[in-house]
Structure 1
Amino acid sequence: MRLDKFLKVSRLIKRRTLAKEVAGQGRIKINGNNAKASSIVSVGDELVIQFGQKVVTLEVTSLKEAVNKDEATTLYRVIREEKVD
């Protein structure tokens, strides 16, 4: 599944266009490598996303084309959250 679509479906980022923008700014890494919006995400991948003053590291646990709001958090597991100065 494309990175931008995964971020939207998992509700980590609300809109796919915003996910493309964040990836274009180099604020997302997949398994330690800079990721583009079109990068492919697989189960078991580690994503590092920089949200403003916070860096979130998570593991992809499941891939689904569509989920409801309550199931969105089952697609990933947060490994750690860090504040950036």
Structure 2
Amino acid sequence: MRLDKFLKVSRLIKRRTLAKEVSDQGRITINGQQAKASSTVKVGDELAVRFGQKIVTVKIEKLQETSRKEEAADMYSLVKEEKVEEAVE
């Protein structure tokens, strides 16, 4: 499954176009490698997504083409959530 579609279906990011923009800015990694919107994700991959001042790392548990709101959280498990300190010059 494409990265941008997974982010939308799992509701980590609400819209697919926004998921594409975030990945094009280099704010998403898959297993430590920088990812594009068209990158393929599979079960067991670890995604690190940077949202402003925090990095959320999740592990993909299952892939579905569609999901209801209640099922979306079952698609991944939260590994860690860390705050990023900006370097002040």
In structure 2, how many angstroms separate the alpha carbons of the residues matched to 1:50 and 1:3? 15
* Aligned partner letter, 1:31: N
Identity %: 66
In structure 2, how many angstroms separate the alpha carbons of the residues matched to 1:84 and 1:60? 23
Match of 1:11 in 2: 11
The aligned runs of 1:66-85 (5 Å cut-off) are: 66-85=66-85
In structure 2, how many angstroms separate the alpha carbons of the residues matched to 1:58 and 1:68? 19
* Aligned partner letter, 1:68: R
Consecutive unaligned residues of structure 2, counting only runs of 5 or more, are: none
State the SS of the aligned residue for 1:8: helix
> What RMSD over aligned residues (CA atoms) do the two structures have, in Å?
0.4
Matched, 1:65 2:30: no
In structure 2, how many angstroms separate the alpha carbons of the residues matched to 1:78 and 1:60? 9
Larger Rg: 2
The total of aligned residue pairs comes to 85
In structure 1, how many angstroms separate the alpha carbons of the residues matched to 2:11 and 2:35? 18
Consecutive unaligned residues of structure 1, counting only runs of 5 or more, are: none
State the SS of the aligned residue for 1:77: strand
In structure 1, how many angstroms separate the alpha carbons of the residues matched to 2:52 and 2:10? 19
After TM superposition, which residue ranges in structure 1, 4 or more long, deviate above 3 angstroms?
Answer: none
Match of 2:55 in 1: 55
The aligned runs of 1:31-46 (5 Å cut-off) are: 31-46=31-46
